[in-house]
Structure 1
């Protein structure tokens, strides 16, 4: 049987020795000041509190003001309300297909002179790419193409450092459709686009997936335009779709000629028109239209639906005045002037009449009657 060990109560000297050994052990731990008997975390907190300076109310107010200004700056940048001077080399002016085809050299020269004399009065608009490109380009141009090209030309011409950058507003990243709308809105306000340019950008925007189709592109790009104007844009969009690669002078198409060409395309003349344009490359816009008109003039008028009844169509009258009240045109349209107790009336008759032509006539009449 094992002998039990007898426990003895430690003496006062034993307790003092144990306490001294404990103190030596804890003071040797990392983070503790030698001789300290407090926990490390308590010591760190105490030292931080001892070293902290009590800020005055003015200093705290300054910190709060700076924090508020930084927040407002971030919000302005996020909302596209902040202007920055961006290097030209970091902007891609062709990130979006432009609705302008050609730039008038006279207008560009005037713009360059204005910027050289007075600086850039209006910043361009850009959007930031999700990730910078390998060539260092970070932004894509939304609006201000002519201003960008004018500053670029001044940089190349003068090699002045002040033309190496351009003032710009960095817009928030938006959907492609809104970017196209912004571009069209700017050019509609600042320069008159040709009918062909309007139709062209509608087709390209739809092809790039910004809109469901050309119809949707026209309706949204020109949402504030009249119904008649949107109809004309659709006609020129069809010209671009079917003959855009064949036309050498598309911007020279007047509204009347363009609508006539669109009518011929609807009648199925695309193949004949392409063959005519391909056979003899035109030297100028009039020669190109002569080739087109030669094909259009051979097209038969739409067949009359006999089920609609009515009197047989009379032969086209000879063009010119018939008396003092009736005018026959070579296009087969007759204009009759009548008068009643309220004023003078003009009556238009003929198979060539449609809503688009009447809209054009109303615009011409308005232009004649507006005060200078």
Structure 2
């Protein structure tokens, strides 16, 4: 009885398969799984076909496509253009499956996926331990602070981000920083963290005739060629290291945070840092909310020492609209949209799509920056 049902399902799978490799292939896989379940329930042999024979035929008919799918997981519903654009880019490649899953469901399904785009998800050791098929965890952008990189390395999972200098992300973040500064632009700007965003910001600030000072942990990777313009020359008037941040803060009218968030930089803009700033100086954060010590910012706004705050990122997101910091008239906040442009999201979708195709083919992964 069950064998006959399996044969019916196999025939139906055959019909669906003839419809093409795209939409119907996954239905065939489902039917094959159903056939598998039914035949396992029966030890009967009919017309010379054992249950194993039927499974073999069904498996052959659908081309064993299930085992050759590369599954890409997007975590959570936020920034829907990320997974929608990636699906659009990969629509001609039915062997790459792109799913977006609610954040609470990720731990329960992550074992099924080979590649994960975290977005706002926090992937700790517990979640990563369940990702038994995972090859790559990456960010739809540059921030990987939500990923336990040590745990990923332990489980043999590569972690990567998309370089902001090629997607337009750094440029749009730099423009957002200028937007936040426009109302009270002064004469000297301190760029705390001179990476891709810092470089693009300095290029744009030159048009305002300001003096640019900047710090970077290591200027060994600083290319004079990449930071030169034919009109303005060197983009940075004074360069310093981490040990110079308080001195530079005391000399700047505006400080712009462009650092990556990690153990070394978390809370770097603290009470000591803000106290070293000029009274009335402005603070702009275009990177990550965790770079700023919340209590230090709030207290210095209350005292009037901090002249103004412009942030595109917050300590928790979404940020509480009733938070005391938002009561100050000299505070401007935007909802983490600096890097959200049509251009950057289309480009990042292409990067994610290309990487998933490389992963499927077993080729070297290019176009991303590994952090482990």
Which TM-score tier does this pair reach, normalised by the shorter chain? under 0.3
Higher helix fraction (1 or 2): 1
TM-score of the aligned structures, taking structure 1 as reference length: 0.24
Instruction: Answer 1 or 2: higher relative contact order, Cα 8 Å, separation at least 6.
Output: 2
Who wins on radius of gyration, i.e. which is larger?
A: 1
TM-score of the aligned structures, taking structure 2 as reference length: 0.24
